[in-house]
Amino acid sequence: MFLVPSSSPQLLIIFFPLMLQFISRTCSSSLILFAIQRGGKWVTSSIAGVFVDTLTMKLVTLAQKCDVEDSFGTKDDKHDLWPLDDIDPTKSRFPCCLVWTPLPVVSWLAPFIGHVGLCMEDGTVVDFSGSNFVNVDDFAYGAVARYIQLDRKQCCFPSNLVSHTCKHRYKHAERGTAISWDDAIHSSRRHFEHKSYNLFTCNCHSFVAICLNHMSYGGSMDWNMVNVAALVLFKGRWVDFMAVVRSFLPFTLMVCFGVSFVGWPFLFGLLMFCLLLVAWFLVGTYCLKNLLEC
């Protein structure tokens, strides 16, 4: 630091602006405040004491300015999320949405089973619909029937290990992170372009689960086929009334024809089929974890 000689007030006047300029460029706010506290011990001259109050006021102002700049620098460390376009079913645009549509034959017997996809920020639907094939802007098996818009603020998009906002910092980094919503979908798409599709082990729900894990959506790294299906089943919104008809009319007709030609045992067989299907995914997901991992 600077020591001001007591016999040279002219030197103090000359070096005073230079001191302020040097301190403002090289010292942080904490060092400036420390200098204020120790200033009285460094400046012992009675002549220099005239300038201590002025120097103190200047340093306090400079420290406040540094603190304001630091607050602005850290305030927006998170990713800026630009506004999304409105959901437009007529153009098949569902920004940042999890979308669902019924499957042929399978949904006729179990209407809670369907095909899912995840939409990019511009609303384009991306879905895993076949071996080594990921659809982009061409949702397989028909138009979207149900959707739920996800909140990007619940995602973790770290630029480095320190900037994680989720609790699973190391686990997230190990499994793969993303710097944006679209980046998570693109990385998952590249991964599933080399995967074989299987309705019972590696399907469209697996693709969505991997995407959500890359985002650490909701602070969770445990997304799987079951909770993805439950999310759209219990929180999904219908696009319109015709989407409801399209989803349940085949099932209703199937039940009516089955009861008419087979009788009530058909309902028992249908119930057993649904229970076995649910049991398979529950056991495969939570008991035999390696079985359903893509």
SS3 per residue for 15-39? HHHHHHHHHHHHCCHHHHHHHHHHH
More confident position, 178 or 114 = 114
In the chain, what percentage of residues exceed pLDDT 90? 58
Residue with tokens 């511009």: 122
Structure tokens at 17: 């602006």
pLDDT of residue 248: 96
67-70 long-range contacts, CB within 8 A, separation 24+: 67/29, 70/29
Render pLDDT for 209-244 as a digit per residue (tens, 0 to 9): 999 999 999 988 899 999 999 999 999 999 999 999
CB 133 within 8 A of CB 183: no
pLDDT of residue 168: 77
User: What rounded mean pLDDT belongs to the chain?
Assistant: 80
CB 128 within 8 A of CB 206: yes
When pLDDT is cut at 50, 70 and 90, the band that residue 25 belongs to is: low
How many of the other CB atoms lie within 10 Å of CB of 216? Answer: 27
Cα 34–39–44 angle (5° rounding)? 160
Q: Tell me which DSSP letter residue 77 carries.
A: -
pLDDT of residue 6: 45
Contacts of 180 (CB under 8 A, 6+ apart): 79, 121, 157
pLDDT of residue 181: 95
When pLDDT is cut at 50, 70 and 90, the band that residue 172 belongs to is: confident
Question: Which of 49-53, 143-147, 164-168 bottoms out in mean pLDDT, i.e. has the lowest?
Answer: 49-53
Q: Which residues pair with 115 in a beta bridge?
A: 101
Which SS3 state, helix, strand or coil, does residue 117 take?
A: strand
Q: Tell me: pLDDT of 33 over 50.
A: no
Q: Give backbone dihedrals phi and psi of 114, rounded to 5 degrees, phi first.
A: -160, -170
- Reference 178, options 151, 210, 206; nearest CA is 210
